[in-house]
Amino acid sequence: MTENRTAVVTGGTKGIGRAVAETLLERGMRVFICARNKTEVSETVSDLSSRGSVAGEVCDMRSESQVRMMLDECVRVFGGIDVLVNNAGVGTFGETVDEISPEKFRQIIETNINGVYYACHFAIPHLKERGGYIFNISSLAGQNAHPGMAAYNASKFGLNGFSEALMQEVRHDGIKVSYICPGSVNTEFGGDRVSDEKAWQLQPADIARTVSDLLDFPPNALPSKVEIRPSKPPKE
Ligand SMILES: NC(=O)c1ccc[n+]([C@@H]2O[C@H](COP(=O)([O-])OP(=O)(O)OC[C@H]3O[C@@H](n4cnc5c(N)ncnc54)[C@H](OP(=O)(O)O)[C@@H]3O)[C@@H](O)[C@H]2O)c1
């Protein structure tokens, strides 16, 4: 079903996005990645090119024009868009509402919400052409609030509502929407580092597998929200 189809993976240079890109390439899909860091986009495209058809472009998801141009480039290179994985996201933790700067607050909301909207807005006409799938990578922070996480909580609570409305809007056009809510994943997210000490956490490949498994559901069935968490976190 997915062979020779095209997927866009935002934030595809590391962590979850990179694992999703690898898995979709292994399925025979063409994959177009984007991120802000030019060197990392080039290196990732080069690293992944042995696995299949991959291309990429620098794009800041906070910029409407950059997102439109990035998707146009994907269509130019691969001839369409079938799957959109809205994965690019940022978060900072530990700063209370009176401490977090307006600039940082805007960065989180504009990346995690506006960026997803821009990508959906410009990709949906392409997805409608042959049916498609939109994955929004949300978080358990989209339902569990914590002090010091107000900006990130707001962005992911918002993303969940956005995803549910979108799912109902486009399902009659042959476009499925799922939002995936992971607990802790072993990545560099929020300035963290990938480490063996976090082997108990979810790994990026677990989220990539979730995306891949959802693509295999029959056309009549749509798991629209998926929660996934470490099965054995340290006892508190
Ligand atoms: N790690 C976790 O514990 C966890 C848990 C639940 C949900 N999530 C969600 O999973 C998603 C991926 O997180 P991750 O853990 O894989 O993080 P990560 O390792 O920090 O990777 C984030 C990716 O997004 C890109 N990105 C960030 N801001 C961007 C922007 N404005 N425009 C374009 N690309 C941008 C980054 O590249 P550049 O910096 O070069 O732009 C990078 O490729 C996020 O939405 C996050 O909220 C993560």
Q: Compute the distance from residue 15 Cα to the ligand 1 centre, in Å.
A: 7
- For the stretch 61-107, pLDDT in tens is 999 999 999 999 999 999 999 999 999 999 999 999 999 999 999 99
- For the stretch 158-167, pLDDT in tens is 999 999 999 9
Ligand 1 pocket: which of 18, 36, 59, 106 to mutate (most atoms within 8 A of CB): 36
- Neighbour tally for 27: CB within 10 Å: 17
Q: Report the percentage of the chain scoring pLDDT > 70.
A: 100
Pairing mode, strands 83-86 and 132-137 = parallel
pLDDT for residue 1 is more than 60: no
Phi–psi pair at 30, nearest 5 degrees: -90, 140
Query: At 28, is the secondary structure helix, strand, or coil?
Result: coil
Residue 163's DSSP bridge partners are none
pLDDT for residue 7 is more than 80: yes
What atom of ligand 1 comes closest to residue 86's alpha carbon? 45
Whether residue 236 is contained in a domain is answered as no
Q: Domain containing 176 — which CATH number? A: 3.40.50.720
Residues 6+ apart with CB under 8 A from 118: 61, 63, 64, 67, 68
Alpha-carbon distance of 175 to 168, in angstroms, equals 10
Q: Compute the distance from residue 89 Cα to the ligand 1 centre, in Å.
A: 4
Range of the domain at 167: 6-225
Q: Compute the distance from residue 18 Cα to the ligand 1 centre, in Å.
A: 10
pLDDT for residue 38 is more than 90: yes
- Closest-CA residue, ligand 1 atom 15, reads 189
Whether residue 101 is contained in a domain is answered as yes
Whether residue 230 is contained in a domain is answered as no
Report the chain's mean pLDDT, rounded to a whole number. 97
Alpha-carbon distance of 61 to 219, in angstroms, equals 30
Q: Compute the distance from residue 14 Cα to the ligand 1 centre, in Å.
A: 8
Whether residue 12 is contained in a domain is answered as yes
Alpha-carbon distance of 141 to 213, in angstroms, equals 23
- Give pLDDT, residue 80: 97
Whether residue 160 is contained in a domain is answered as yes
Ligand 1 pocket: which of 87, 153, 156, 226 to mutate (most atoms within 8 A of CB): 87
Is the CB of 192 within 6 Å of ligand 1? no
Tell me the catalytic residues. 152
Who has greater pLDDT, 2 or 18?
A: 18
The structural domain count of the chain equals: 1
Sheet containing 175-182: which strands, arranged edge to edge?
Answer: 54-58, 30-35, 6-10, 83-86, 132-137, 175-182, 225-228
Task: Give the closest residue to 85 by CA, choosing from 48, 120, 121.
Answer: 120
Contact 217, 177 (CB under 8 A): no
Is the CB of 184 within 6 Å of ligand 1? yes
